[in-house]
Amino acid sequence: MIDINLLRENPDLFRESQRKRGADESLVDQILEADATRRSSITEFENLRAEQKTFGKKVAQAQGEQKQALLAEVKELSERVAQAKIASEKAQAQQEELLTRMENLVIDGVPVGGEDDYVVLKTVGEPRNFEAEGFSPRDHLEIGELVDGIDMVRGAKVSGSRFYFLKGHVARLEQALLFMALDQAASDGFTMMTTPTLVRPETMNGTGFNVKHDDEIYRLERDDLYLVGTSEVALAGYHADEIIDFSQGAKKYLGWSSCYRREAGSAGKDTRGIIRVHQFNKAEMFVYCPVGEAEDMHAQLLSWEEQMLQKCELSYRVIDTAAGDLGSSAARKFDCEAWVPTQGTYRELTSTSNCTTFQARRLNIRERLADTVDSSGKTKKGGTRAVATLNGTLATTRWLVAILETHQQADGSVRIPEALRPYMGGLEVIPVAQ
């Protein structure tokens, strides 16, 4: 949720943000109008309440006919107070509904436009030249079948399209990725978290997902619970309605979970293999920090993602995502896209988002400000303010696509990157199945 005080003081800032996103600019004016109505309704209610209290004192002192006349006025006033309260609550609800529709304020410098308007910040490594090596690369599914590591046919038989089984060395390779991510994150001060994959609607909404209109989300109607598409959701809700103590630094968590996405609207896209599936595993970084540290922390999260990609010996590029492709909660997002040889293009493997105070405001997550001393020497207890939240992918099932294709050998076997070998029991090559 955006800061209503900031919007009230600088509405043009939010109009520009909406314009960059390609979103509805008139929402800013709707919020301002609702805010004015809410404040005037509250003022009217409070004035009538004050008048009601004054009348109460007059009635207590009056006698006879005067008292009866005042009682009649009090009754009418009570009805007006009740109506004013209803109007005030209605105005409050209308403003809150409009605020939940407002997307996060875009950080200055984010590219303008939609999905194709990203800016490439850097490219790392050269795509492997298979032609020079004398063979044509196989795609990840063909490799997975050759090494008996991916079974889409039985996945579809058991669960339907876009489901799969990972087997043998490929299944272990996925776990190796996740364990390597865990070790790296732990060395960087993250706390390992195995998170719930079912959450309440208030948690999903608080993170920035619209449970009423997001077709990507699986819902369990009987229990009114939602399957998460990322452990970011559960981790964002972890400190809901709390005041965080940052005296020991930012709170850094590594969420480890299965993730679920309906892939609505993706009919015909990436139907082959495990690029776009309904269920996958992921290691997700999530950070709570003071607002002033958020942009530096965002750069650090990106650096940690790049370290993982380099350990996997992948060619990749980093893009600054355009405003219209950010999602509602992100103020800025960097993606790392790895080269996929058989597609001849880069595909997203990681993303890291700075959500500033957007999620924290919705979930009521704050930090305590320092105490102050006034001119008379009296200490005043510090107030609270919303914290910043950030997230970033450290490993997912999709990484197998780039690893299998990039490190394949002419016979269909796969060379395992050196950093992953200790997690594979020392195995150097995934052999073709006999």
DSSP 137: P
Query: Cβ distance 420 to 317 under 8 Å?
Result: no
How many residues appear in the chain?
434
Annotated catalytic residue within 138, 361, 366, 398: 398
User: CA 141: distance to chain centroid?
Assistant: 30
Rounded CA-CA distance 398/403 in Å is 9
What residue has token string 């669960």?
A: 159
* Active-site choice (19, 49, 80, 276): 276
The question of whether 46 is a catalytic residue gets the answer no
Which of 257, 328, 351, 353 does the annotation list as catalytic? 351
Which amino acid is residue 119, in one-letter code? V
Closest CA to 5 of 106, 110, 88, 95: 95
Q: How far apart are CA 88 and CA 36, in angstroms?
A: 11
348 tagged catalytic: yes
Q: Of 273, 230, 271, 222, give the one whose Cα is nearest residue 253.
A: 230
Choice among 38, 128, 172, 261 that is catalytic = 261
CA 218 remoteness from chain centre: 16
- Alpha-carbon Rg of the chain, whole angstroms? 28
Both tokens of 308, joined, read 């993982």
Burial 274-308 (b: 16+ CB within 10 A, else e): bbebbbbbbbbbbbbbbeebbbebbebbbebbbeb
Closest CA to 362 of 106, 101, 110, 107: 101
Q: Which residues contact 213 (CB under 8 A, 6 or more apart)?
A: none
Indicate which residue of 51, 313, 348, 368 is catalytic: 348
**DSSP string across 256-305:** EEEEE---TT-TTSS-STTSS-SEEEEEEEEEEE-GGGHHHHHHHHHHHH
- Minimal CA–CA distance to 362: which of 201, 190, 253? 201
Cβ pair 118, 111 in contact under 8 A = yes
Orientation angle between helical segments 64-101 and 26-61, nearest 10 degrees: 160
Element (DSSP H or E) covering residue 157: helix 152-159
| Single-letter residue type at 316 | Y
276 catalytically annotated = yes
- Residue 398 appears among annotated catalytic residues: yes
Active site residues: 261, 276, 348, 351, 398
